[in-house]
Amino acid sequence: MEASQPSIKSFKRFKINRLIASGGMGDVYEAIDTSNGSRVALKLMTIDIEDKLPDAQRRFKLEAQSLERLDSENVVKIIETGTFEGVPYIVMEFLEGRLLSEITDNFVFGVDEAFPIMLQLLEGLSACHKLRIIHRDIKPSNIIITDAGTAKILDFGIVKDLEGSKGEQTTQGLIMGSFKYLSPEIANCLSPTPRSDIWALGASADH
């Protein structure tokens, strides 16, 4: 994964080593938990995001709540979540590996190679959907293949949790997701369903 120098050196008890990725909702850092020496991925909500997205804190917390409910080998695991000095954060397992988007830039999977990866990702999505959690942004850059060969789903930043967000209404006409991987119902401003994630996974396989 791409990395660069972090703008901050520490957060709470975490010593920050490098910036791993930046997204619409926040930045993800490689950090050391000084309480036990373990390496973690620390996601911090972008400070000024609420100027652009008024319900950013709710969305960020919904991502954390959804990950807390999940327990799948094929979904990134959460360690801790909270707010520190006004900044919401999520601590996740640190994963050694490469994003699927990075791999497919230089390599075309054959059926024998792609099949076990797809099976693992379907297991991850099945765990989500059993809990009525819809990822909504399945794409190669949100999938990592670890050095051990495990496929894991990342970045639940625009998750739709049908249990954790009861009563929530999606803004009429608002399309959330990445254009190349949008299912027909999402592209037509309809409510996402588990099939939306399956469609996006199929589109990712055709990347």
Predicted TM-score (pTM) of the model is 0.87
The beta-strand segments (E) located in the chain are 10-11, 14-22, 26-33, 38-45, 78-84, 87-93, 97-99, 133-134, 143-146, 151-153, 160-161
pLDDT, tens digit (0-9, with 9 covering 90-100), for 92-148 = 999 999 999 999 887 777 888 889 999 999 999 999 999 999 999 999 999 999 999
pLDDT, tens digit (0-9, with 9 covering 90-100), for 55-89 = 788 889 999 999 999 999 999 999 999 999 989 99
- For residue 36, the one-letter residue type is N
Domain residue ranges in the chain: 10-93, 97-205
Whether 197 is a known active-site residue: answer: no
Cβ atoms 152, 141 nearer than 8 A:
no
Instruction: Report the percentage of the chain scoring pLDDT > 70.
Output: 86
* Domain range 97-205, CATH class: mainly alpha
For the segment(s) 10-93, the CATH number from 1.20.1530.20, 3.30.830.10, 3.40.640.10, 3.30.200.20 is: 3.30.200.20
Catalytic residue among 27, 33, 137, 155: 137
Element counts in the chain: helices (H) and strands (E): 6, 11
